Amino acid sequence: MHFPAGNPAPAVWTAIWLSIVSTGFGANILIICPFFGKSLYGFHVAIARSLHTAGHQITIVHSFPEDAASENFTVIDSFLPDQRDDFSSIQIDKAIQANDILKILLWEAEAAEKDCNNIIQLEKIQKILHSKEKLFDVMIVDLITNLHECFSPIAEILDIPIIGTSTVKSWWRTDWLIGNPNNPAVIPTGYSFWSLKMKFIQRLKNSWYWTIEYLFENLFIQQKLETIYRKHFPNSSVAQRIKPSLMFVNSHQILVPRPLVPNSINIGDIHLQFQPAKQLPQNIQKFIDEAKDGVILFTFGSMLKMFDESSPELDIFIKVFSQIPQRVICKMEKKVENLPKNVMTSNWLPQRDILAHKNVVAFMTHCGISGIFEAVFEAKPLIMMPVYFDQMSNAAILEDLGVGILLDVKMLSVDKLLEALNNIVKDNKYRKQMQTVSKIVQDAPITQQESVLYWTEYIIRHKGAPHLRTIAADMPLYQYLLLDVILFLSGVFLAFVSLHTAGHQITIVHSFPEDAASENFTVIDSFLPDQRDDFSSIQIDKAIQANDILKILLWEAEAAEKDCNNVIQLEKIQKILHSKEKLFDVMIVDLMGNLHECFSPIAEILDIPIIGTSTAKSWWRTDWLIGNPNNPAIIPTGFSFWSLKMKFIQRLKNSWYWTIEYLFENLFIQQKLETIYKKHFPNSSVAQRIKPSLMFVNSHQILVPRPLVPNSINIGGIHLQFQPAKQLPQNLKKFIDEAKDGVILFTFGSMLKMFDESSPELDMFIKVFSQIPQRVIWKMEKKVENLPKNVITSNWLPQRDILAHKNVVAFITHCGLSGIFEAVFEAKPLIMMPVYFDQMSNAAILEDLGVGILLDVKMLSVEKLLEALNNIVKDNKYRKQMQTVSKIVQDAPITQQESVLYWTEYIIRHKGAPHLRTIAADMPLYQYLLLDVILFLSGVFLAFVYLSLWLCKKLFKRKTRSKKSMNYDSKKIK
């Protein structure tokens, strides 16, 4: 359901929609929000209300109890009065003084430990734990603080999955829990004061903070957790605890365009969608309505008290406010004497409702995430004065976005504050940029409420959805960083040395022209007959023999170079390039081939953004183009023959393949591209080429649960949604209908010809097929003599339509992605015989999923094939598992077609959407891998070692001389 930017659905319609999209079951959901703070509470209540509106029963544990909205909304109070009073006494100036990473970590741990002990011991929680009934279906718990995994055993006892929440941007703690890549080269820690564009010294400090966080987590927090577990849950252990199945994060990709695993879901601004702005209290309404020069709202939120009366900062604010024509509404806990007439104070303010007023011209804020979203939603520019934790990096990122002015509270002065306020009010660029950002944030295919509802029900439906979990989340750091591989290679080295249906007009250039579907669908043929004949002559056995990484890369480059030269020189393309009219709004181009960036200058000339596509799983080439992390420790290359669970030797080989691919790209492909550019586009250069704004990838998270940047969109199986299975030709239908023992489909797709008549494999298949009761439909380019009676062949087969027939019991395939999705969609188990490229890892991953049997074509025998066929047909576990996988793949909040339409229009609407692009995509590899930081630290360490040795040597010499001198003197005395 798509609501246009700037026109959010009214709450009533959203409520109706939620009741419609809910799957119809009323689940029981336990929500634990242990951390104090009104804004944090508001985030969780919005989640709770979203689920409750859809008919689910909610039990919520939090520290700000309110009357339950209905009999299906139960509140358990977790906050004792003395705790609330103690927390509210924290002053901003004290928080500033305590802004030290270790102090904050220890303070958080201490507070979280109290949360754990208090909540677990609550009478109502103990009743839940000792109940013999099935009370809940899922538990949602705030995991922002580093000890809140103390609640994991509750889910273990209740035998339910956990959904975690993070009330701030996804940070180191929540990232490690679900396997989000958290590279200190590109992602500022919550304690840093810089944006995504970090210089060397910032990356150095960021790495230091990251190291402190990692050590603190593993040396301190894990021990604390173990103590809590021993006290309250003696049968549980930290090592065996349940990890969250999914994470709801209070963020948006515009704040941090970064790769996220499929079970990390941004739902920032959900509280705004659930509760529209309300009528203001009469006194505030009158104060704002009568403000001719506008109003500035000044508040540091609900979690911090304003500066103390004796603090110099308070005096600065009063002096500045007295010099500006705007009225100021300020949140102050205590009454302040001698305030200027243009200032109103209150110990509580309806922040969101004030920001919604048209007379509000600016917002002075500490940059808490809830306040940020409220300001963005209402398009109010910011004066940012962060105090601690995530506020620091929030402010730096927002300054980078151009929506406000950042001030350091520690360095505040009357002149600086006055200048900032005058600039924010008078310079319209901040307001305009905030309006742009506001439209982007509100532009989404579904609302955050719908997202919460869908993903919560998804986790319940799929029993924790373990298929979403990346292998990286449970991998030791040394393996994830390939330290064992690097150590091994270092040892070796040392030894060696020593969109048409939505009404858009389409022009498509491809190699299989067909009649245009309408006058708005134009086809340009790019494939010459001799090329088509040449390609179709490739035999499977030849492809198997040529399955060498360098040969394949060179063959692809040669083929791609022909594509480039042919397509660019086409008469119709040249007409497009020389037209003075605005012909297109966006260009979609297949970037799977390693030279297909040759078409980028076309977009540059037409002044339009590029959307890339990858017809295979996202791989090294497409990953590097948009900044997806492609860690060879967890992601098999397209040329590997293993799944995601790689052992040491596999990670070693995978790293070797990755290195070859990287060197090939930078030493060969870039030069080839430069040659093509010089020939066809002399005014363009490889260094300045347009990069894709977005990538459509023919994949699904069940194949590779991995982190993806926000502009990498999986649309695997889209061809199935667009074209439902059709009626079979009469001869095929009759053959399948009459098959009492079922039918096996055997095809290696459209890109490869079957084995040659002289090949031993052909004879092997014929022998095996003659020994099974099932009928076989076999794609063969040439007629084969003496086939068994249960086998029919054809040089073309309607593969998808055959797989849709209920009598088909198995599919023998080379594991091309289109065929995989067709088999998954129709829930047909597989016999997998991959030949080359991505087919190898596809097959290994599918074997791991338990949906088929993997055979090595090079090692094939009659016995192995016969055994595999008998197992796939007789053992029902493969069919059952494929049915489970089929349900998962078809379970999505929107269809792939809707996704393509939404994201294509999104890129056009937002002029290429540069805000989606991660900084990592344009960062040199040495910076991304922190090699400069590592080199610097290594130099410092070596210098320290050298100086220490030099100093020891000097001291030793001095001591020796002193001894000799003493001996000499004693001899003289004698």
Lowest mean pLDDT among 7-21, 106-120, 183-197: 7-21
Give this prediction's pTM. 0.84
CA distance 797 to 106: 66
Q: So what's the pLDDT on residue 17?
A: 46
Asked if pLDDT for residue 93 goes beyond 60, the answer is: no
Q: So what's the pLDDT on residue 880?
A: 95
Buried b (16+ CB within 10 A) or exposed e, 226-247: eebbeebbeebebeebbbbbbb
Q: So what's the pLDDT on residue 512?
A: 62
- Report, as an integer, the average pLDDT of 157-161: 94
Give tens-digit pLDDT for 850-905: 999 999 888 889 999 999 999 999 999 999 999 999 999 999 998 888 999 999 99
Place of tokens 């600086």: 416
Q: What mean pLDDT value characterizes the chain?
A: 83
Asked if pLDDT for residue 483 goes beyond 80, the answer is: no
Listed residue (499, 467, 457) closest to 824, CA to CA: 467
Asked if pLDDT for residue 378 goes beyond 90, the answer is: yes
Banded model confidence at residue 657, pLDDT cuts 50, 70, 90: confident
Which architecture, in CATH terms, is 11-272+448-476? 3-Layer(aba) Sandwich (3.40)
- Cα 339 from chain centre: 48
Lowest mean pLDDT among 270-279, 510-519, 788-797: 510-519
Give tens-digit pLDDT for 666-720: 888 888 888 888 999 988 888 778 889 999 998 988 888 888 899 999 988 888 8
Q: So what's the pLDDT on residue 11?
A: 45
Asked if pLDDT for residue 323 goes beyond 90, the answer is: yes
Q: Which two tokens stand for residue 956?
A: 């030793």
Asked if pLDDT for residue 88 goes beyond 50, the answer is: no
Q: So what's the pLDDT on residue 817?
A: 86
Asked if pLDDT for residue 501 goes beyond 70, the answer is: no
Asked if pLDDT for residue 424 goes beyond 70, the answer is: yes
DSSP 8-state code for residue 666:
I
Lowest mean pLDDT among 12-16, 298-302, 477-481, 750-754: 12-16
- Report, as an integer, the average pLDDT of 317-341: 89
Asked if pLDDT for residue 566 goes beyond 70, the answer is: yes
More confident position, 59 or 145: 59
- Report, as an integer, the average pLDDT of 436-461: 93
Q: Which residues contact 755 (CB under 8 A, 6 or more apart)?
A: 539, 540, 541, 761, 762, 765
CA distance 222 to 477: 15
* 11-272+448-476 and 725-889 have identical folds: yes
CA distance 307 to 300: 10
Asked if pLDDT for residue 638 goes beyond 60, the answer is: yes
Query: At CA 320, angle to CA 315 and CA 323, rounded to 5?
Result: 135
Banded model confidence at residue 443, pLDDT cuts 50, 70, 90: very high
Banded model confidence at residue 586, pLDDT cuts 50, 70, 90: very high
CA distance 54 to 36: 27
Backbone angles phi, psi at 878, to 5 degrees: -65, -45
Torsion sign, CA atoms 693, 706, 622, 451? negative
More confident position, 109 or 296: 296
Give tens-digit pLDDT for 899-941: 999 999 999 999 999 999 988 888 888 888 888 888 888 888 8
Asked if pLDDT for residue 619 goes beyond 80, the answer is: no
- Report, as an integer, the average pLDDT of 13-31: 63
Asked if pLDDT for residue 2 goes beyond 60, the answer is: no
CA distance 390 to 408: 15
Give tens-digit pLDDT for 182-222: 888 888 887 777 777 888 888 888 888 888 888 888 888 88
Listed residue (435, 35, 368) closest to 169, CA to CA: 368
Q: So what's the pLDDT on residue 89?
A: 45
- Report, as an integer, the average pLDDT of 17-43: 71
Q: Any idea where the domains of the chain sit in the sequence?
A: 11-272+448-476, 480-681, 725-889
CA distance 626 to 920: 8
User: How many other C-beta atoms are found inside a 10 Å radius of the C-beta of residue 513?
Assistant: 13
Give tens-digit pLDDT for 737-762: 999 999 999 998 776 666 666 677 78
Can you tell me whether residue 251 is helix, strand or coil?
A: coil
Q: So what's the pLDDT on residue 305?
A: 67
Query: If one looks up domain 725-889 in CATH, what number appears?
Result: 3.40.50.2000
